[in-house]
Structure 1
Amino acid sequence: MQIIVLVCLALIMFKKPPHKIFTSSPLRNSDVKALRQRVLTLFPDAKDKIDVEMLVPKGISSCKFDNHLDETGVLYSSPEKEPLWFTMGKGGGIAQSNLIPTVYTLWKCPTLLPTISTPAAVIPILVGGADLMIPGVVPSPIIPSLAQGQLVSVTQYRSATPLVVGSMAINGSELKDDDDQKGKAVITLHATHDALWAMGSKQEPPEGKQPEAVALTPDVVDGVTEIVKGVNLDGQTEQGESPTVGEAASPERAPTTQEIDTVLRSTALYALARVDASSLPLPASTFYSSHVLPSRPARPILPQTNETDQPIDPKLFISHLDIKHTSHKKLATFLKTFEKDGILKLKDVRGELLVFSIDAKHPALAEAGKWGWKTTGSEERSKKERELSEENGTNGTAKEIIVDEVWFPEASTEGFFEACGQSAPHYTLSSLRPLLTKYITTHNLQHPTNPKFVVLGDVLLRALLRKGEDEKEFVGRDELVDRLSGNMKGMWRVGGTGAFKKLPLHPVNVQTKTRQGRKVVTLTTGLEPFGIDPEVLSEELRKRCASSTSVSPCVEKPKQLEVMVQGNQTKAVTTLLLELGLPRKWVKVSENAGKGKGK
C-alpha cells in the first residue's frame, strides 16, 4: 500500500507561548490524591504499567493560563517545573474529561494513550503545527476501536516514542485502507518542540534527537510527498531505503549576525517603500509586525564570500530573521539607523515610538521600490488560499460558515421535555414552537375564549414562569418560545464541531469612524469566533480597496483584533465577509462617519 501524505495547518494550542500565565501554587495533599484518582479513573491501564506517583508526583503545582488563541486552561507541573498535564476550557470538547498528558508524561508511560503511527517524514510537519490527515495514518489493529474525540499519541512508524498528543477527528472505524480517502484523522493539541514543551526542561525524546519542526511551505510539502509516496507497510521506500526527514529539509549553517543585519535592513527598506503615507503616523511595533516581518524574502540568498562557504538553509535563515537576532537587539535602535540616514522620522508620543514620516523620495527607497521578491507574507497568504480552495472546492468559493445556536434544558424545563417524550441534549429555537404547540393541543390547554392565550398547567407553569415572577394562569402564545428558551441555557459553536460556548454570540461589527478631523476609516471586529483570520481579511481588503490596511488589538476588547482600512469601505468589507462564508445575519454594519470617498 502506498501512503500519500497530506497535511493541514492546525490552530495548535501551543504553537506560540501562552500570552498570560497566572501564579503557580502547589496542590494540597487532598488535591494531589484527587488528581491521582482522576488519572487512574481516566487511564485505568496506567495502574498496571507504572506507579501513579510518577505521573502525579508529590509537590505537583497548578496554574491557570490563557494561550495565544485566548483559550483558558490549567497546567499541572512537577516540582522541577516540568509540564505534566493540562486541561483546556471548562470541560467537554475532548474525551478523557479534558485532562491531557504532555509528551514529558508520555515518555514515562508511552502506552498511557492509544498510539497512531505515521511515516518519519511527516513527523516534522506535525511538530510544526499540522493536523494528521487520513492518508498519513499507518494502518493498525487498534484504530477501529478509537472514538471521535479520544486522546491519542502519534509516533514515528516503527518507534514507540510519543512525539505528538492529539484527539481523534473521526471515529477510527471510519478510517479505511484507501489511498483516496481524505480529511483529518488526528487534531494536534501539543507536540515535541512546541511552546508547552519549551516551558519544561526541553528534553529530547528518549530515542534521541528528533527532526526539527518544519514550516509548511509548498516546497516542503512537495518534498515530503515525494519522500513518502512509496512508503509501504514494511516502512521501506520503493528503493528499499527508510525515508528520512533530512531528505526533505537538510539543515546547513545558521546565518551570522552580520548577514541578518544586512537582510533585515533590506527587508525594512522594501517595506518602507510600500507604506501608504495616509497610514502615518504608525506605531513602530505595528510597522515591524505588519510591514517588516511579512516583507521578509521567502528565499533569502546571500553571495558566498569564497568557494568554501557553506550555503545557508532558507528556512533556518527565516527563523533567525528578526530583531532579537540582529546586532541592534531592540526595534528602536534598529529604526534610529534609518532616521540617521534621513529615510524616516521617529517621534515618541506618551512613551510610544511612532514612525512619524517617511521620505518616499530618498534614493534608498526609490531603489527599494524597484525590488521584487516573494515574501513570507505572500507565501503564507498563498498557502491559506490553497487550503481554502482544497477545503471548499477548486473554485475557491467558501462554503457557508455553520453557526449553531442551541438551548440546553435546565432543571425548570426538564419536566416539559420529558412530558413531550424528548431526550435530546439540546434544541434549536425553531424546534421549540412545534413542541409547545403539540403539548398544548395534546393536553387541551387552549384558552377557552381567547386563542391568543394558553392555560398554564403545572408543567408549563414551571417551564415558562420567569425567575421572581408571580404565578400566572395564562400567558400569550407569542411569549411561549421566549419564555421557554429564557429558562434554558443558550449556547453556540461555529463549524459544526467542537465544544459549545455560552450565548450571546455577537456578529462581526463593521463600522466607519472619523479620525484626525476628516479622515474616515472602516473598522472590523469580532472575526475570531467565526474562524476568519484578520490578517487574511486585511490583506485582501488592501488589494480590493487599493487602500492602506492594518491589524491591531481592539481598544474596547484587547483580546480581539481590529482590521482597519482607509475610507468608507463597508460595502467591500461586507461583500468579502459573505464570500468567506459568513451568513449575512452575522454581519452588523454601522455608519458612524460621513460616507467619504469609497475606492
Structure 2
Amino acid sequence: MFKKPLSTLKTSAPLRGSDRRKLKQRVISSFGLSPEDGEILVPDGLLSVKFNTHLDEPGTVYLSVDGDPLWFTVGKGSEDLIPTVYTMWKRHTLLPFLSTPAAVIPVLISGADLMIPGVIHYPPSSLEEGQLVSISQYSHGENPTLSFPLAVGRMALASDNIRNGQEKGKAVYILHTWKDHLWDMGRKTDIPEPLPFSSASAGDPQPAENGKAESEPAPVEAPSADAASQENVAHNASARPYTADEISLLLHTSLLQALSTALSDASASSFPISASTFYSNYILPYRPAFPNSVLGTGNESPGDPQEISVKNSTYKSLTAFLKSAEKGSLLTVKAPPKHSQQTEVVVTAVNASHPSVEAHKTHVTVKDLDTRSAKKAQREERLKEEEQESARWVDIKLLWKPHLKSVKLFEAFGGSEKTLYELPEVRDMLNGYINEKALVNPREQAYINLDPLLSEVVAPKVKKAKATEPSEAIEFMKREEMTKKVLDQMQCWHEVKAPGKDPVVKKGLLKPIQVVTKMRQGRKACTLITGFEPFVVISADELAEDLRKLCAGATSVSPCVGGVPGLEVLVQGKQSNTVLDYLTNKGIPKEWIEVSGKK
C-alpha cells in the first residue's frame, strides 16, 4: 500500500486533547489494553495528517512528537485503526503474529503479499479472514529467534485453512511494512534486538504444516529452479545442520559460480576490491539456493543457504578463505600496507579461465531467487494496480439483439432472439457457421460464399433496370463487410456499469458525451455539456455545482433544445479541458467524450 510515495500529503495539525482522549479510548477498547498501555501508544502531542495513497485512497496518519507514524486509517470514512511497525516495536504482542523466513521479508517490502507457503508459524487460536496481524522474521538454528514485527496486514483467509494444509494462495494482504514510504516518514530507528523463540515469548505458536512439530518437519519435494522464493524458504525449516567441511565446499562452489558468471568478463579497472565487498557482492549472492542438491546428500529438503557463511566453515575468517582461493590460483589477494588505516586484504585479480571454473556446473543461486521474487512482486503489484485502476472506470458494452431478418440466422447459429450479444460473440457464431457450412471461397480466401440464409440477411437482391429481367443476387462478400451487414440487421443495445452500481441495460445506440465550446453575443464564450445522463455517474445538478467550483464561473441547468431528451449544463468560458479532466476523473473513458468548438 505504501510501496510508492503518497500522491498527496497535507500539512500536519496538532490533535486536540479531546480528540486524543477519544483516540486513546478507541485503541484501549479495540486492542484490549490497559490505560497505562494506552498512554504509551497514544502519547501527548499527537499530530494528524491527511493523505492519499498512490492509488488515491484517502487516509489519516497519527504522528508522535518525534514524527514517527504510530497509527493510520485507510479508506473514506474508515474508523479501523491500524498500528504501524513503530507502534508494534513498543508492544510486539499488540496483534497476533505470523512468522516467515528471512528471505521472504525483502519480497514483502517490495510490495508482495504473504503467500501461504511462506508461513512458518501462526497463533493456535483461530484467526478470521480480514483480521489484523503482524509478521515477524523467524531465524532457526541452535537458538531460534523471532524478530519484532516487520509488517502489518490483514488475513486473506481464516487460519483454519492453513491448518488444514492448504498450500496455495495468499495468507496475508500486506498493508504496511518496515522501510516503506509510511515508515520513511519517521525517524527510521533500528529494529529492536530479536527475541528468543520460545513458548513464553512466541505465545505457543503452531507450525504451519498441518500442526506438526517444528523438530519433525513434513518431508517436501526438492523444488524446481522456477519455484518462488517464498515457497522455497518456507520448506527449509529445521533441516540437518551442515558440517564445517560441507559449508567450506559450498563457499568454494559459490566462488566458482561468481567467477563463471559475474566475474567472467571483469576488467582490470574493477579491481582492487576489498575483502568484505568481494564477500558481500560475489560470494553471498552466489550461494546455492538449494545446497543439498549441490552437495548430492540425497536429502529431500532443499537446505537453507543462510547457514553458508565463513564463520561456520573450516576457514573461520574471510582472509583465510581468500588466501586458500589464492593458493588454488582462483584469485590474487594483497595484504594491507603497513602503518595504513586499511585493515583488510583486497582482491586484485581473478582467474576466470581456471580449469575448475570452466568445469563448474552452474546452479540456481540465492540472487536468482531474489531476482525472480522481486520480478514476481513487481508483476503482482502491477496487476493489482491495473485491477484497481480498471475498477474506477465506467464499463461500457455495446450489445446487439437479433431482429427481423437476422432472427432466422441466429436460430441457425443455435442462438436466441431474446439474447443480447457482444461483437466478439457475434463474430464467433458467424465464423462457426461459415466453417460448418464450408462457405470460404476457395479462390479468394478473404471472401465468403453466401448461402440462401446469409444472402437473405446481408445481400438484398439487385433489381434490373427493366422490370421484365429477373433480379440478380450477390453470390459472395468480404467477411468484415458481411459482419457489418449482419449487425445492421440487429437491434442496438448498450450496457453501462458504474463502480458500485448495478448495470444499466437499455435499447439504442449509446452516444458520446458532447462538450461544445460556443461563442455567443458579444463574443462571450461558453461551454455546453450534453448526453451525460446515460453514464449514470453524475446528475445534472451535481455536474453544474462541481464545475462552478472548478471553473470559478457561473453554471446553469436547462432542458436540451430542439426536442432532444435530457438536460444540458452550461458553463461560462472556454472550459472544455477542465470538463474533460473532470469527466475522466469520474471514470468515463475518453473515447466516450467528444470535444468540439462552434462559433
Q: TM-score, normalised by structure 1?
A: 0.38
- Flag the structure with more relative contact order, 1 or 2, with Cα contacts below 8 A and sequence separation at least 6: 1
Q: TM-score, normalised by structure 2?
A: 0.38
Larger Rg: 2
